[in-house]
Structure 1
């Protein structure tokens, strides 16, 4: 087959962008504005922990324009918000799951906890009603800080759960780990704080509920998977038949994991629309996002690494506290539990033991955020490896090199049961250091010192598990216009699925990308779909699309062989047509679709793919920072990354994913932190208080791939959507600590490395000198 200009591996620009950049995008708020929907408003708790009672609802209900006010008393016939994290607990301290009501009834457990839902003709009328609510509050002791919440005597989020522990799970072999540490020549220890951060997608969440003529409710909402939300809302919360609920996802302005989950506003708005027999829309405001949407990270980890005299890793011991917030969110417990399986990283480790404890606190729930446990794991192992290199006096690259799993040991089963199928870890680390000119760092550091700056070099080699899970079906149809329609249950929120899936189809049928249409996001189009999360859209969904395209190609060759009076083996797809090889005899795809002999079997194809094992993308991030010791400001001046994604479908899309992930990792490492005060009040409740990375905070990023095809899907591709956020945090912090270690002997600093944090660390050393 001739190489198609826009087939697999080609750097085609996103076909979605022309519409989006010229205002053609259609988001939830656009759909709401174009409807006659009344306005939904959520009344939220101003207290982190309090008992409350509505003294009088009738005054608010009687205000002009007010259509409905719901409280927990109105929801007795409905279910709680679901928690779907299936985790295996080893030990006696099993997962304790409290109810997570749509609306809190009698007790609010975090600032922003929903307590009432108002529907009115206008937003101003809804706000007036909220102001008119008479609520009696009785503040209770609160605790939002993870470390404090886990201490003896801390205020209890739930009286029924002493110690605020949601679950305790252990991994590995404690006895083997203890024995390994007993024989170690070196033991290195660190306490690491992985700071809580807010997802902060560009488009806040929203939902429009409309009543169809049949009485069915149609929800238009921004999501990462319409089917998942339909099933969760209908099955678990509203207890409706799925046929009573249609979910449509239009364009989505970012998701990063959070938009995969059901939130209370969705069933509340659906229920209100049914009760009123009228459309209702709720569009979240940014302060609601800070208060009420699930947040990310928030771990405290004590880690110890045991090494022999040659620097070999004998044992790894990890003890993690993970903040769950006030309620268990949809995947919340799975994040630290699943992430723990990646703690060994890319290394051969003789013995391993970890304990993970989920902790309740009076804060917003924590759930998956770009990487969902794997960034936390990579941060732990890559920070402790760098600390070990400093402590025992081995260059960090040499320490890694002598402990990497080698290619000839693949497939490799880790101590946590993960099965790595492919990878050349030393190869991408070596290339990243070459690309970053590690050998020339000393000269650059000297130039920085000459102008009063501190320069540091840091890198991190990561591996993650993604791109697994259940089957994702793909359906292809060739229309009479010669265009192919792809229906699939994944959901783009900015990744470029329209382009990527079109390239897979074009690769088989050799037609222009403009002739491939991708339909996602409507539960009426497909019976089921798994959505987008865990970097699975291309390894799973892409494999299904490619498989369906191959089936369609075979069927069309059978169809065309009769019309062209030749054998199917003599046919090839070329320039949007089916041609007899070596001749000018051909039929366009439109002509094929219109042949009298064309049947549904010729014009439709389907395939589904489910992976038996995850994919394991891996790579090395390397960077340099300059620090002004007089102000503590950190400037990221160089950044390179070499990744193994198995196969590159589209280099431009891939680079965009990596760059975006790096930006989020840099944001967490240097800028972002969610702060609650000792009373559980949210201090960082807006962009006035919460720092976000900007373009000026990033240098030019040099990105290369060093792909080793994976063996767990037919494309050989490894998931790429989260990788940038996984390697970046430890790389940046290793660079910051390297600069501080060289200049002041400072061997540890927690994220974010803000100017104040860096300045205070330097000042503490100067004062003690």
Structure 2
């Protein structure tokens, strides 16, 4: 038997995160820790009503208050708006109209939290006092909240000039081909599902500090982002300035989940305030700001249908998604359901697919990307639909999947929505997950639970996602005068462990420890360009470029060392900071090479890929339900994933565990609730529940990898995968427990809170 050798460093090594020590002992520097000398403080005055005409009554008086340096209103910022960067064509080939989201509202507000004024003062308390003194006169207007309410014929129009609350209508697949498949069906299976609205709730609320250099006329914005270059582009577009005038600095970031990718109003506001006051201006958000201003996620109503033949094979799939957009179209908001429905058919060989998406306006916080960005919604739909198909056909949850999986010999496989799956063995990870969870012994465990007065259920989700979308990420590696290595790259860590993962590949090429590599991200002056972090792209897209730059720099160093040592390049090795002639004591240090090179030694590479990667896997969740209280206990959770190549198993497990917990939290407890007046009732962590450690069990995770052919290193990406596979596994388990235990036949929606579960049990009795 071949012995598996774990590398000391490099790809596959289970190295602990080198960036953790300063964070654990409180030495991490976040945006809120930065306080330049003479810094002023900003506060945003936000709308207290979901829809109203507004006027400001005493702006001049507020400007005269002690300590107040500036009051910005919509009147001063006329014409400055927040851009929407995502605009796919509609079904009929037309462009959909874009509403204008002002940086500050001048005469009308459209959701609770909409920005009205920006007050800058010497202290935070002075700014808050002035904000409280500003008199906003509201003339209330009618409000519409909820997708179905917004689509009613007589609904209040968020944008009356458009004549409808339908923001856009996209389509993917072939409608006529799908209709023909349904006409031939032996059986049609359907589900109607709610994908509940999510508030990201990263640990670090947003904040920013804006500065203007009076000599150069250049701005500097310190802000937590998921990519400074993209942020710079959007901010400069809003302000109408050249990108060369703005440096974006991103220090440590306490979580992002997609929602720190976007530009928010405070960023251009602080820059304008710094320009007008001549002093640094700081804004630090609180948890309440996060709830009422930062982009929300999910919020879909979806109908899915299968057309089945007599053997339970899927002939066609039809999907209709109604996706809440909120009051405005956020930066990438329209793109989220579009990319999601491109994954409509999941892992299954479905010859006819048509998916329709309607974006819907309402008087709420806008929605945008949140961990998975459309792909969790797609996986949730098809995996609950396939579960119901297994039940109605009598094939059960395992056989219905196996019967319809795309077979390995069909790969590469292009779906009816244009996704090209390159590699995978889908039955393989399903079978492994069933083996680990003890699927065959479930009935005995269910009977044991019943004997203890509990309902037990087990649920599957076999998912696939698209990530690491086409493109590249430039990496630059520098050899310093003292022999140190510095990597510059335009991705942005916000908790993933980039410094460790990138350093592993550099260390592998140079024969050094990862601590000897410095990784620079988050500075648009030092890093030439970058695509940021999102869509699980950083490691799959960035790491091949890091490897390419490392190999190129090693070659340069060996060429110089060969002359110095009077040896052939092929006779040299790098190890522990020296270049050595193999088998001799002749060597030269990297510091000596750098000193003798004259010019700084650098290498740069940008490996590009033309197709996305497609991670896939199976989640199995087992639950117990207490019928007297509706409480759900997760008692077993197994994940088997195909990520192509594992770079660092410790980092990978952390990513997958975190994603799965995010999904479990959405499935069981997260619930964003607006009342009919558009007031957010769950606007704090007192009212919005997140899953805690006590709500979880140990999660078993392993990989069964098949390398990607679209990625230069075979990597498929993993940052969002846990979230994509989790919700359906949990809800399928809960549904089985309720059906087998209490005869519940109605489909239960997320979140499966105790009261909802209790009510479903009582209704079935």
3-state DSSP of counterpart to 1:604: strand
Of 611-620 and 152-161, more deviation after overlay is shown by: 152-161
Corresponding residue of 2:738: 740
- Please report how far the alpha carbon of residue 599 of structure 1 lies from its aligned counterpart in structure 2 after TM superposition: 4.5
3-state DSSP of counterpart to 2:57: strand
1:592–1:598 Cα contact (<8 Å) kept = no
Of 7-16 and 568-577, more deviation after overlay is shown by: 568-577
Corresponding residue of 2:59: 57
Q: For 1:469-503, what per-residue CA distance to the aligned partner results, in whole angstroms no more than 9, with x for missing partners?
A: 33211100011222110001100001001101100
3-state DSSP of counterpart to 1:259: coil
Gaps spanning 5+ residues in structure 1: where?
A: none
Distance 2:45 2:201 in 1: 21
2:644–2:706 Cα contact (<8 Å) kept = yes
Q: For 1:674-702, what per-residue CA distance to the aligned partner results, in whole angstroms no more than 9, with x for missing partners?
A: 10011111000000100011111111011
- Please report how far the alpha carbon of residue 243 of structure 1 lies from its aligned counterpart in structure 2 after TM superposition: 1.9
Distance 2:676 2:512 in 1: 61
Corresponding residue of 2:40: 38
- Please report how far the alpha carbon of residue 518 of structure 1 lies from its aligned counterpart in structure 2 after TM superposition: 0.3
Distance 2:52 2:230 in 1: 33
- Please report how far the alpha carbon of residue 577 of structure 1 lies from its aligned counterpart in structure 2 after TM superposition: 2.5
Distance 2:364 2:752 in 1: 23
Change (3 A) 1:4 1:636: closer
Corresponding residue of 1:520: 521
- Deviant stretches of 4+, over 6 Å: none
Corresponding residue of 2:655: 657
Pairing partner for 1:722 from 695, 720, 723:
720
Q: Output aligned runs, 1:202-351, within 5 Å.
A: 202-212=203-213, 213-234=215-236, 236-351=237-352
Gaps spanning 5+ residues in structure 2: where?
A: none
Corresponding residue of 1:436: 437
- Please report how far the alpha carbon of residue 93 of structure 1 lies from its aligned counterpart in structure 2 after TM superposition: 6.4
Distance 2:621 2:581 in 1: 53
Q: For 1:190-246, what per-residue CA distance to the aligned partner results, in whole angstroms no more than 9, with x for missing partners?
A: 100000010100000000012224232111000001111111111x20001112211
Corresponding residue of 2:764: 765
Q: Output aligned runs, 1:596-635, within 5 Å.
A: 596-597=596-597, 599-600=599-600, 603-635=601-633
Question: Is the aligned partner of 1:21 residue 2:20?
Answer: no
Distance 1:88 1:299 in 2: 20
Distance 2:484 2:711 in 1: 27
1:258–1:294 Cα contact (<8 Å) kept = yes
Distance 1:650 1:138 in 2: 57
Change (3 A) 1:69 1:624: same
1:466–1:535 Cα contact (<8 Å) kept = yes
3-state DSSP of counterpart to 1:75: coil
3-state DSSP of counterpart to 1:642: strand
Aligned residue pair count:
759
Change (3 A) 1:39 1:631: same
3-state DSSP of counterpart to 2:734: helix
Distance 1:578 1:411 in 2: 44
Q: For 1:512-547, what per-residue CA distance to the aligned partner results, in whole angstroms no more than 9, with x for missing partners?
A: 111100000011102321111111101111111111
- Please report how far the alpha carbon of residue 183 of structure 1 lies from its aligned counterpart in structure 2 after TM superposition: 1.3
Distance 1:169 1:568 in 2: 57
Corresponding residue of 2:166: 165
2:336–2:368 Cα contact (<8 Å) kept = yes
Distance 1:583 1:120 in 2: 68
Corresponding residue of 1:551: 552
1:482–1:515 Cα contact (<8 Å) kept = no
3-state DSSP of counterpart to 2:711: coil
2:42–2:282 Cα contact (<8 Å) kept = yes
Q: For 1:599-647, what per-residue CA distance to the aligned partner results, in whole angstroms no more than 9, with x for missing partners?
A: 54xx210001221000000000111000001111111111110111110
Distance 2:32 2:510 in 1: 37
1:319–1:356 Cα contact (<8 Å) kept = yes
Distance 1:35 1:644 in 2: 50
Of 467-476 and 620-629, more deviation after overlay is shown by: 467-476
1:48–1:362 Cα contact (<8 Å) kept = yes
Of 329-338 and 463-472, more deviation after overlay is shown by: 463-472
2:227–2:531 Cα contact (<8 Å) kept = yes
Q: For 1:647-693, what per-residue CA distance to the aligned partner results, in whole angstroms no more than 9, with x for missing partners?
A: 01100000000010011101100010110011111000000100011
Corresponding residue of 2:593: 592
2:6–2:12 Cα contact (<8 Å) kept = no
2:87–2:96 Cα contact (<8 Å) kept = no
2:158–2:165 Cα contact (<8 Å) kept = yes
Corresponding residue of 2:700: 702
1:664–1:725 Cα contact (<8 Å) kept = yes
Of 306-315 and 556-565, more deviation after overlay is shown by: 556-565
Corresponding residue of 1:112: 113
Of 575-584 and 646-655, more deviation after overlay is shown by: 575-584
Question: Is the aligned partner of 1:644 residue 2:642?
Answer: yes
Distance 1:629 1:658 in 2: 31
Distance 1:46 1:597 in 2: 64
- Please report how far the alpha carbon of residue 90 of structure 1 lies from its aligned counterpart in structure 2 after TM superposition: 2.1
Of 566-575 and 731-740, more deviation after overlay is shown by: 566-575
Q: Output aligned runs, 1:500-579, within 5 Å.
A: 500-579=501-580
Pairing partner for 1:688 from 683, 686, 689:
686
Question: Is the aligned partner of 1:123 residue 2:131?
Answer: no
Question: Is the aligned partner of 1:156 residue 2:146?
Answer: no
1:468–1:610 Cα contact (<8 Å) kept = no
- Please report how far the alpha carbon of residue 397 of structure 1 lies from its aligned counterpart in structure 2 after TM superposition: 1.0
Of 82-91 and 162-171, more deviation after overlay is shown by: 82-91
Distance 1:462 1:582 in 2: 51
1:93–1:169 Cα contact (<8 Å) kept = no
2:210–2:219 Cα contact (<8 Å) kept = yes
- The normalised TM-score by structure 2 is 0.98
3-state DSSP of counterpart to 1:91: coil
